[in-house]
Amino acid sequence: MTSEQTFVIVGASLAGAKAAETLREEGFDGRLVLIGAEHDRPYERPPLSKDYLRGEVGRENYVHGDGFYADQRIELRLGRTAVGLDTSAGVLTLDDGEELSYDRLLLTTGAEPRRLEIPGAGLDGVHYLRTFGDSDALRERLDRGGALVVVGSGWIGSEVAASARQRGLEVTVIDPVSVPLERVLGPEVGAIYGEIHHDHGVRMLMGTGVEAFEGGGAVERVRTSDGQTLDCDFVVVGVGVQPRTGLGVQAGLAVGDGILVDERLQTSAPGVFAAGDVASHAHPFYAERIRVEHWANALNQGPAAAHSMLGGARVYDRLPYFFSDQYDVGMEYTGFASAWDRVLFRGDPASREFIAFWLAGDRVLAGMNVNVWDVTDPIERLIRERVAVDDRRLADPDVPLEQLSPQGSSR
């Protein structure tokens, strides 16, 4: 039955490639087309701001080996962009005019960096970071040394700043917030990251924005909103990403902050699904929509969407998880906290080995382990089981996390 069907995936990155893999694993033997605007076969992006950017590793981060797609009879169309979608006819149009009829469609079009629209935004030497090509250009710039200004102290900005310092460059980070990563982690934990960067010699210019880039042809200076002028050799802008919803909007799908999908990752059009950075998902655990811009979400939602494409009824209810590496500080964050009433530490943050918990009342919303490993399962259980925790025991490293969760203690 399925052997006569055509399934099409738009977006050949982590979510799309994992979905294609799962479709074959689950026995889909019809025509399977994976379309990607980039010219590289699907790859993972985390190394692009870390060891790949620093030149410590080569292109080892492809999702699958070279022969995988041919072996699996996955028609990989690289350098092709889907430009039109008619969901009532079930037809997708590519940029070369080809029309593809599909029985099921998955949109894994991801996200793209938000661009700054300020004077000098088009000068040479103003970099953004999303693709292999972006990372290669930046890596070449790091090789030449000099002074870098990083605009934005979120994950990308913080990781690029760390990598550039590790390569010995002079680095200034600018952001209107008061501490790096404040929007996600809040002031207490953001301040710890501020100290880490400070200790590594990064100049943190917080509480001010960027007014303009100046220079003759290439950027030479950054003018801040509080009137300072910073000389630089190049700039990296990391001010967040926006979901690539264009195809969904054009097709009349329900779109908000991302393409809206239900608990099974189906869009407002039957037979059309979305996953990864682009999907605004009705999350059953949170009973609200969330859009997660992280590696593990793409890794897991791709396969979950594939199951739904095959008619599966399973809902996607994994808790968000992400990681970051800066200098010798590695962390994992589990859960989702947009508002909390306090942050509690297990271990001394000054030692850079600790767990931070975000709480509302006696419930844990999220936990972040920093240079402490193998604790994401018990942290996830505390959140998922909505365990009522005692602050003193939660903060005490001598009380195993498993003992705080009724389920965990019996395992």
* The only residue of 203, 294, 318, 363 in contact with ligand FAD, by rule CB under 6 A: 294
38 binds ligand FAD (CB under 6 A): yes
Q: Is 280 in the site for ligand FAD (CB under 6 A)?
A: no
How many residues make contact with ligand FAD (CB under 6 A)? Answer: 36
Nearer to ligand FAD, 134 or 220 (CB): 134
Q: Which residue has the tokens 């190394």?
A: 47
Between 127 and 156, how does the x/- string for binding to ligand FAD read (CB under 6 A)? --xx-------------------------x
The piece of 107-115, 136-144, 337-345, 396-404 that touches ligand FAD (CB under 6 A) is: 107-115
Nearer to ligand FAD, 266 or 324 (CB): 324
User: Smallest distance from the beta carbon of 107 to ligand FAD, in angstroms?
Assistant: 8
Q: How far is the CB of 186 from ligand FAD (least distance, A)?
A: 19
| Using rule CB under 6 A, residue 11 touches ligand FAD | yes
Structure tokens at 336: 């989702």
* DSSP structural state of residue 119: T
Considering the rule CB under 6 A, would residue 340 count as an interface residue with ligand FAD? no
CB of 148 closer than 8 Å to CB of 235: yes
User: At how many degrees (to 10) do helices 14-25 and 295-309 cross?
Assistant: 40
Which residues in 302-331 contact ligand FAD (CB under 6 A)? 322-324
If DSSP codes are grouped into helix, strand and coil, which group holds residue 261?
Answer: strand
Q: Verify binding: residue 276, ligand FAD, rule CB under 6 A.
A: yes
Cα diameter, the chain: 67
Helix (H, G, I), strand (E, B) or coil at 28: coil
How far apart are alpha carbons 332 and 30 in whole angstroms? 39
Are the CB atoms for 268 and 298 separated by under 8 Å? no
In the complex, what is the shortest distance from the CB of residue 249 to ligand FAD, in angstroms, rounded to a whole number?
12
What are 340's two structure tokens? 């909390």
Other C-beta atoms lying within 10 Å of the C-beta of residue 158: 26
Instruction: Choose among 406, 401, 384, 386: nearest CA to 347.
Output: 401
Asked if 248 touches ligand FAD (CB under 6 A), the answer is no
Query: What does DSSP say about strands 82-86 and 91-94: parallel, antiparallel, or unpaired?
Result: antiparallel
Rule CB under 6 A: say whether 384 interacts with ligand FAD. Answer: no
- Quick one: 215 or 330, whose CB is closer to ligand FAD? 330
- Total number of residues shown for the chain: 411
Interface residues with ligand FAD (CB under 6 A) are 10-16, 35-38, 45-46, 48-49, 81-82, 108-111, 129-130, 156, 244, 247, 276-277, 293-296, 298, 322-324
